[in-house]
Amino acid sequence: MKRVSLCLLLAGLLTGCGAGSGEGLDEQGLPSDDNGTGGNDTPPVPGSLAQLQADIFSPICAQCHTGGAAPEGLRLDSEQNSYDSLVNQPSGQQPSVLRVAPGDPEASYLLRKLEGADGIDGGQMPLGMSPLSATRIAQVRDWIENGAPREGVGDAPTSVSLQGHQSEQRVVTLRFSRAISSESLSDAVQVYFHRDGQRVLASPEQYALSLQDGQQLRIHWYLPDYPVTAAEFVVNDPAVATLLDQQHRVLDGDRDRTEGGLFRHEISF
Ligand code: HEC
């Protein structure tokens, strides 16, 4: 099996991985597409926690509800953190009320805070901004009504972005909906270059992997010195090795809502 230099970037800690251009990724947890070349985003499954995270929590709430100093300890800065600090967790302001009571939107403090309902402590959320639209609030309500599921979100990368098109080193970022395990990483990711109609497995010197926040996998790669027509990134190929999440469950690579299945992203030149 190939060896790759696996350089783990633990939550918020940048280590010397030569990551180069990571700008734009961390502020909202959403990948940016600096130069308009990457894109190819796959939208999260409707009604899922992944979608709430992408549409509401990351872009709006995580401006404040982030890190160790998040108000009331409520962290909404990653899907895993949102789940862990919302579902079946008591409100800090009203400990007898759950933030999210699965199946019971009316009893969920989260929804009350979004609606600015009577009887809440503090302000309506998002604090100091215009309230969420009725559609957004209905999204939250539906998810809670459905039992606030953690699963069924499709664990394939929810988006892909490419950076550093001009520079020597390029970075492809895959954002997963669940935190993945670093142990399975190096075996479960392959990079191929397309050359003269053939698919050539990249050598270990041609790329390196780094993981940030458990959910963002960055593939740092270099173009080979021979002409190529495409670079291909493969994750979770059942014929090679599967990628595990932090609970040691196999990821759903092809978004069919069952474990396993291959995820592929290709960049043509
Ligand atoms: C500008 C900063 C800011 C933003 C943006 C913000 N919050 Fe808050 N949030 C706070 C502060 C400060 C508190 C505690 C004081 C209060 O409730 O007014 C709080 C409290 C809460 C509480 C109560 C927690 C508990 O345990 O009692 C919930 C729920 C909440 N926010 C959800 C959200 C959601 C969901 C969003 C995004 C739609 C959001 N907040 C956006 C600052 C913010």
Same domain, 132 and 216: no
On the question of pLDDT at 257 being above 70, the answer is: no
Same domain, 164 and 129: no
Residue 36 is assigned to a structural domain of this protein: yes
pLDDT at 30: 31
Residue 56 is assigned to a structural domain of this protein: yes
Chain Cα centroid distance, residue 116: 29
Distance 32 CA to ligand 1 centre (A): 26
Same domain, 176 and 89: no
**The two three-digit tokens of residue 208, written as one number:** 């390196």
Same domain, 54 and 121: yes
Same domain, 133 and 176: no
pLDDT at 252: 75
The residue among 127 and 157 whose pLDDT is bigger is 127
- Give tens-digit pLDDT for 180-194: 888 888 899 999 999
Same domain, 127 and 109: yes
> Using CA atoms in the order 38, 40, 41, 45, what is the torsion angle rounded to 10 degrees?
-160
Domain count, the chain: 2
**The two three-digit tokens of residue 103, written as one number:** 């199946």
- Ligand 1: residue of 125, 130, 139, 140 to mutate (most ligand atoms within 8 A of CB) is 125
Same domain, 66 and 85: yes
pLDDT at 262: 86
> For 18, which DSSP code?
-
- Atom in ligand 1 nearest the alpha carbon of residue 128: 1
Residues 6+ apart with CB under 8 A from 217: 157, 173, 174, 175, 176, 180, 185, 189, 209, 210, 211, 235
pLDDT at 1: 39
Residue 258 is assigned to a structural domain of this protein: yes
Domain boundary among 115, 145, 175: 145
pLDDT at 166: 54
On the question of pLDDT at 161 being above 70, the answer is: no
Residue 190 is assigned to a structural domain of this protein: yes
Is 131 within 8 Å of 164 (Cβ atoms)? no
On the question of pLDDT at 15 being above 80, the answer is: no
Residue 1 is assigned to a structural domain of this protein: no
Residue 236 dihedral angles phi and psi, to the nearest 5°: 70, 35
| 92 φ/ψ sector (left φ>0, alpha ψ -120 to 50, else beta) | alpha
On the question of pLDDT at 156 being above 50, the answer is: yes
On the question of pLDDT at 27 being above 90, the answer is: no
pLDDT band at 158 (very low <50, low <70, confident <90, very high): low
pLDDT at 148: 84
Please state, in angstroms and rounded to a whole number, the distance separating the CA atoms of residues 52 and 135: 12
Instruction: Report whether residue 224 contacts ligand 1, using a CB cutoff of 6 Å.
Output: no
Same domain, 90 and 188: no
Same domain, 169 and 256: yes
The residue among 18 and 72 whose pLDDT is bigger is 72
Question: What is the pTM assigned to this prediction?
Answer: 0.54
Residue 145 dihedral angles phi and psi, to the nearest 5°: -60, -35
pLDDT at 172: 85
Residue 158 is assigned to a structural domain of this protein: yes
Q: Are strands 216-222 and 189-195 parallel, antiparallel or unpaired?
A: unpaired
Instruction: Report whether residue 71 contacts ligand 1, using a CB cutoff of 6 Å.
Output: yes
Instruction: Report whether residue 72 contacts ligand 1, using a CB cutoff of 6 Å.
Output: yes
The residue segments making up the domain with residue 242 are: 6-42+154-268
Same domain, 216 and 119: no
Cα angle: 231, vertex 232, 237; to 5 degrees: 160
Q: Is the dihedral of CA 194, 177, 256, 237 positive or negative?
A: positive
Q: Is the dihedral of CA 53, 57, 60, 66 positive or negative?
A: negative
- Atom in ligand 1 nearest the alpha carbon of residue 86: 29
Same domain, 114 and 238: no
Please state, in angstroms and rounded to a whole number, the distance separating the CA atoms of residues 120 and 113: 7
> For 57, which DSSP code?
I
Residue 92 dihedral angles phi and psi, to the nearest 5°: -70, -35
Q: Which amino acid residue places its CA nearest to atom 1 of ligand 1?
A: 127
- Give tens-digit pLDDT for 36-75: 333 334 556 667 888 899 899 999 999 999 999 999 999 9
- Give tens-digit pLDDT for 212-228: 878 788 899 888 888 89
On the question of pLDDT at 3 being above 90, the answer is: no
Residues 6+ apart with CB under 8 A from 262: 234, 235, 236, 237, 238, 253, 254
